[in-house]
Chain A
Amino acid sequence: MNGETPKIKRVYLQPTPVRIWHWLNAFGILALGASGVQIRFPEFVSLFGSYKSAIMLHNTAGILVAVSFSFWFFYYTLIVHKMARLYVPNRDDLENGLARQAGFYFFRYFLGEPNPHHPSPDNKFNPMQKSAYMLIMFVLVPLVSLTGILLMNVAPLRDMVVLIGGLKFLVALHFLLACALFAFLFTHVYLATLGRTPLAYLKPMWTGWEEEMEEH
């Protein structure tokens, strides 16, 4: 603004294990969604040929996502010890951060103002991201995985299936949680285009490095 060339600050935001987990998760969830649609609506969808192929893909992708979730959990909890710091909103996040970030997304962004949150390795997510990811990673993904594991083993785990309300309750829960996960995914992918350029937020998830305009 004052004639100087803006400086670019580079931050190493996404370590290699996190990037591997993210893309395993991403492709796994896409495969789960596509095969899940064929499993539920076989008369209308035959993306993967036979019904059995769709089921085998769904089961394999489901195991992949569940294993990568465990990998993510142990990495953040036991190796880098950042789980709570990154994913649990603190008092300031709840009292001020959420409103500040919502104000940016739904108002100030349209006026061209900058994002109030500046990510760092120890504070990657803005308060809205923290809240959403906490719900997704500690409620939605574990529940959709557990219901999926039960549905993959109905006969051996029949007593447990009956105990939690029966097969229909389990299928409904699995289906609706999956819908909620995909509803989030639409927003997640859209918000990923909201950076300085449409691919600015995507790049660190591939290279690990985020580039940000340095403030003066």
Chain B
Amino acid sequence: MGLHLQHLFTGFVALALVLPGGAAALENGDCLICHSEAATVGIERLIDPVRFDHTAHSELGCLACHETVTDQHPDDGIAPSKAVCRTCHEDMDAEYQRSEHAANAACGDCHNPHAVLSTSEVSGSDMNRQCGACHAPDIMADAHGVWLPQAGLHLEMLPCISCHSGSENYAIVLYVTYRGAAPDSASDDAGPGAALAGFEELQALAGERNIAALIDTDGDGLATLEELIRFNTSPYYRNLRLKGMLTPEVVTHDLQILDNRWDCTFCHASGSGAMQSSTLALPQKDGSYLRLPVEQGAVLDALYGTPDFYMMGATRSMAMNIVGLVILSGGLVMPVGHGLLRWLTRSNRHS
């Protein structure tokens, strides 16, 4: 991460040194006067000011990437230059270029530099929407269905990069979604059952409060198991439920088909602390998601911690195991107890 920031800084300094002096006074706001109006610049050059303002790129300023723009733009007739991503993102680019994916898509095909967010600020559904732009979900469901049991469920519950990148250290990210059909106002169109509750819907429920207060009722910045259970069993939120997605904590760009992902126990086995830790992702006004830590082990709660998230083998409940063992042991009472008395009294039957 430190190396990455160093590259960003070096790139920024290099870009700043070559900026034409006449344009140095241009601020982001000057550009956005026109570029936030579709009627003025057209849909292709439209920038959402709220989303752009949230990006790391906005801190560098428009001219850092579009260096040929002058304060006479667009009357000067000079086509704005576009920076090359690898100037700043050198390591990431090198990693990406080594993947087969690099021959098929450039950075901009997946990432909008004017709305780019950090990994933790993007929902799993949004991640998959990027992939779905080229890899049609129906075709992918059929292709995975050839070998993967319940392929549709896997595609719904996993960001593609959980399997198709070398990312490690996964966590279960919980999103608020709808119980049953999503309302028409739901912004997410990632497929049946996948629609996430949007900021406006949740804010309407929260009223004056921050939407995090829907779950984190004591406002301590941690969603405890008790708070999750309260949310999941509350009649006030009966139209909502929590959807969990197994998401990489740190994303890599070495997109590929990894041999170890054919083995179901890569995910479906207990023991990984990272897999059993979770965070709650809540939509924000600017389109990003805010991650709230969740009490460790909440996904292992027997019933109501995360009632609609269960990974076979990985999130089984110890309490249920014990109840099951007691039931099985009950079944042994007759063979063992009766069998012992039967053996002790065998002479009665032989006679």
Could you list which residues of chain A lie within 8 angstroms of chain B, going by C-beta atoms? 39-43, 50-52, 55-56, 59, 105-106, 109-112, 152-156, 158-159, 161-163, 165-169, 171-172, 175-176, 179-180, 182-187, 189-191, 194
Q: Which of B47-55, B147-155, B160-168, B212-220 binds A?
A: B147-155
Q: A186 CA to B265 CA in the complex, in Å?
A: 30
Residue-wise, chain B 240-273 has the 8 Å CB interface mask toward A (1 for contact) of 0100000000000000000000011100111100
Residue B351 at the A interface, CB < 8 A? yes
Asked if B324 contacts A112 (CB within 8 A), the reply is no
Asked if A186 contacts B334 (CB within 8 A), the reply is yes
User: Total contacts A to B, CB within 8 angstroms?
Assistant: 132
Asked if B269 contacts A176 (CB within 8 A), the reply is no
- Known contacts A42-B269, A168-B302, A172-B320; A162/B308 CB under 8 A: yes
| Chain A residues within 8 Å of B287, by CB | none
Nearest-Cβ distance from residue A182 to partner chain B, whole angstroms: 6
- Known contacts A112-B351, A158-B193, A190-B334; A166/B264 CB under 8 A: no
Asked if B149 contacts A185 (CB within 8 A), the reply is no
Q: A153 CA to B151 CA in the complex, in Å?
A: 10
> How many chain B residues touch the partner (CB < 8 A)?
51
What are some 16 contacts across the A-B interface (CB < 8 A)? A41-B316, A42-B270, A111-B345, A112-B351, A153-B150, A155-B192, A158-B193, A159-B181, A162-B241, A163-B180, A166-B307, A166-B308, A172-B320, A175-B324, A176-B323, A187-B331
| Chain A residues within 8 Å of B348, by CB | 110-112
Q: Give B152's nearest chain A residue, CB to CB.
A: A155
| Chain B residues within 8 Å of A152, by CB | 150
Asked if A56 contacts B307 (CB within 8 A), the reply is no
Asked if B310 contacts A167 (CB within 8 A), the reply is yes
Q: Give A56's nearest chain B residue, CB to CB.
A: B149
Q: A191 CA to B338 CA in the complex, in Å?
A: 10
Q: Give B270's nearest chain A residue, CB to CB.
A: A43
- Known contacts A155-B152, A166-B241; A183/B327 CB under 8 A: yes
Nearest-Cβ distance from residue B141 to partner chain A, whole angstroms: 9
Q: A80 CA to B308 CA in the complex, in Å?
A: 43
Q: A94 CA to B306 CA in the complex, in Å?
A: 44
CB < 8 Å neighbour of B307 from A109, A165, A179: A165
Could you list which residues of chain B lie within 8 angstroms of chain A, going by C-beta atoms? 147, 149-150, 152-153, 156, 179-181, 192-193, 241, 263-265, 268-271, 302-304, 306-310, 312-313, 316-317, 320, 323-325, 327-332, 334-335, 338-339, 341-342, 345, 348-349, 351
- Candidate in B147, B309, B320, B329 with the most chain A CB atoms within 10 angstroms: B320
Asked if B331 contacts A182 (CB within 8 A), the reply is yes
Asked if A110 contacts B341 (CB within 8 A), the reply is yes
| Chain B residues within 8 Å of A185, by CB | 331
| Chain B residues within 8 Å of A158, by CB | 192-193
Asked if A155 contacts B193 (CB within 8 A), the reply is yes
Nearest-Cβ distance from residue B177 to partner chain A, whole angstroms: 10
Q: A142 CA to B306 CA in the complex, in Å?
A: 27
Asked if A172 contacts B302 (CB within 8 A), the reply is yes
| Chain B residues within 8 Å of A176, by CB | 320, 323-324, 327
Interface of A is mostly: helix
* Contacts A59-B149, A185-B331, A186-B334 supplied; 15 other A-B pairs, CB < 8 Å: A42-B270, A43-B313, A51-B265, A155-B193, A162-B180, A166-B307, A166-B308, A168-B310, A171-B312, A175-B320, A176-B323, A176-B327, A179-B325, A179-B328, A194-B342
Asked if B156 contacts A155 (CB within 8 A), the reply is yes
Q: A70 CA to B54 CA in the complex, in Å?
A: 59
Asked if A50 contacts B263 (CB within 8 A), the reply is yes
Q: A116 CA to B309 CA in the complex, in Å?
A: 52
Q: A152 CA to B263 CA in the complex, in Å?
A: 19
Q: A18 CA to B341 CA in the complex, in Å?
A: 33
Q: A184 CA to B306 CA in the complex, in Å?
A: 31
Asked if B308 contacts A39 (CB within 8 A), the reply is no
CB < 8 Å neighbour of B308 from A50, A105, A156, A161: A161
Q: A93 CA to B332 CA in the complex, in Å?
A: 26
Asked if B149 contacts A167 (CB within 8 A), the reply is no
| Chain B residues within 8 Å of A111, by CB | 345, 348
- Known contacts A155-B153, A162-B179, A162-B241; A187/B334 CB under 8 A: yes
Q: Give B314's nearest chain A residue, CB to CB.
A: A42
- Known contacts A112-B349, A158-B193; A52/B310 CB under 8 A: no
Asked if A109 contacts B342 (CB within 8 A), the reply is yes
